[in-house]
Amino acid sequence: MLEHDDQQQAVDEAIIERCMAGDQLGFTELYERYAASVYRLCNTLLNTQEDAEDVVQESFVYAFKNIDRFDSDRATFKTWLFTIAVSRCRNMYRRKQFPLVALSAALQLRLPSSSGEHPETALAQSNVRDAVEEAVRSLAPHLREPLVLRYAHGLTYREIAEIMGCPQKTAESRVRLAHQKLRKIMQGQGRSLLEEILLI
C-alpha cells in the first residue's frame, strides 16, 4: 500500500475516534473528505443525478449512524463507505431496472459530420469523452462497477473485490471483460470517430 494511503487511513481513524467520542464536527470532516468521490462513484454507476444524490445521502447517513460498526482492521474507511454506496446503488438498479442507454443513437449524434475531413481537435476530444461515458454507461452493472472503481477511483483489485464482495480474480477478469466490451461497443458504434482519434 502506498504511503499516502496509510496517512489517509490514519487521519480517517483519528476523525472517526472523535466522531465516536461525540465530536460532531468529525462527521463534517468525513463528508468533506469523501463526498466528492462517493458522489462521482454513484453518479457513474447510476443513470440520473437525482438517484446519485439520494444514494450519496443514504450512504453517508448510514455510515454516520453506524460508525461504531466500522472495523479498521478489516477495511479502510474509504472501502467501507464505497461498499455501502455500491450496495445502495445495486438496490437502486433493482428498484429502477434502468434501461441501458440507447447507445447507437447517443453515439451517432456525437460523431463529427462526415463532410468535415478533419474535425477540430477540441470537438473530437469532447466527442471521445462523451463516447467513453456513453459506452461505460451502457455496460452491465457488474462490469461497470469494477471498471469505474479501477479507473475512476484508482482502487486496487483487492479493494475492488472487497467492495464488490467477490474474489479478487473475479474483479480482475471483470475489468478485462469490461475492456473488451467497451472496445467492441466503441468500434461498432463510433468506428470512424475512433479511427480518427485513437490512431493519431
Partner 1 sequence: MNTLRCQYVQSRIAAFVNNECTERERRIVGQHLDKCSTCEAAYRKQRGLQRDIKRDLPRMGSATSGQLNAIWQRIEQDLATPTPQPTSNALRMPSSTWHYGLVAAMAVILLTLAWFTDSNSVYAAVPSQPVPQDVVEPRIATPVRISNQQSVAIAFATEYVTENEQTAPASGGILHNTPRQTPEPVTTQTEVNRTQ
Site for partner 1 in 99-118 (CB under 8 A): none
18 is a site residue for partner 1 (CB under 8 A): no
Element (DSSP H or E) covering residue 107: helix 103-110
38-46, 100-108, 109-117 -> range binding partner 1 (CB under 8 A)? 38-46
Q: Specify the DSSP element, H or E, that contains 194.
A: helix 191-198
**Of residues 146-175, those binding partner 1 (CB under 8 A):** 147-148, 151-154, 161-162, 165-167, 170, 172, 175
Q: Is 13 in the site for partner 1 (CB under 8 A)?
A: no
What's the min distance (Å) between Cβ of 17 and partner 1?
Answer: 16
Residues 83-102 that bind partner 1 (CB under 8 A): 83-84, 87-88, 90-91, 93-95, 97
Cα 13 to Cα 18: distance, rounded to the nearest angstrom: 9
DSSP state of 169: H
For residue 12, give the C-alpha cell: 480517517
- Pick the stretch among 102-110, 113-121, 179-187 that binds partner 1 (CB under 8 A): 179-187
Non-local CB neighbours of 86 within 8 Å, separated by 6+ positions: 41, 45, 145, 163, 164
Decide if residue 68 touches partner 1 (CB under 8 A).
no
What residues between 48 and 67 interact with partner 1 by CB under 8 A?
A: 49-50, 52-54, 56-58, 60-62, 64-66
d(CA 170, CA 16): 32
**Radius of gyration in angstroms for the set of CA atoms belonging to the chain, rounded to a whole number:** 19
